[in-house]
Homo-oligomer: A and B are copies of this chain.
C-alpha cells in the first residue's frame, strides 16, 4: 500500500472538516493548518475549495454506484439482491463516514453544473434499486405495489445511518443491515411465501 500523497491527505482532512463543520464553515486555512502547511501552499495541490468538495462528493457517488452495479449484475434472486444491495449501501456509508456525510449534507453547495453531474449519478443509482424491486414484483417474490416508494423507504433507513453510525458502536455494518432486513424485508416479502420458508 503506497503511502498516501499529500493531495490524498488533504482530501481526507477536507472530508473530516467538511463533515464535522460543514463546507462553508470550514476554511481553507484550517485544512492547510491540519496538514502542517500554510493556506497559500494548498493551491499547489488543488485549484479551488469547491474542487475539493466536488472530488469528495463525486468519489462518494462512484462508491455507491459501483457497489450496486456489482449486485445488479449478479444472478441472485430479487430478494437476495435487495439484501445484498442494502448491505453494500451500508458498507459504503460505514467505511467512508466522512465522505458520505459530505455527500449527503453538502452536495447542494456545488455549482449548478456539478450538482447536475452528481444528480445524474444519483438517478442512475436509484434506477438500479427500482430494477431490483421490479424484478421482485415480476417474479412474485415481493408483494409491493409502488417500487419507487419502497426504494425511498429502504434508502431513507439506510441513509440515515450517517447521522448515528459509529465504528465503535455495538453493531457491525452487517449486523445493522441484518436488523433492517429482519424488519423491512419481512414486511416487503410476500407473507405467504415467507411462511412457507419458515415452515
Contacts and interface: CB of A to CB of B under 8 A. Distances in A.
B179 A146 contact: yes
Interface in A175-197: 179-180, 183-184, 186-188, 191
Interface magnitude class on chain A:
20 to 34
A194 B109 CA distance: 46
Number of identical protomers: 2
Contacts of A153: 157, 180, 183-184
Nearest to A104: B163
A150 B183 contact: yes
A172 to B, nearest CB: 14
Interface string A140-169: 000010100110110111011100100000
Contacts of A161: 156
Interface string A100-117: 000001001100000000
A131 to B, nearest CB: 19
A25 interface: yes
A3 interface: no
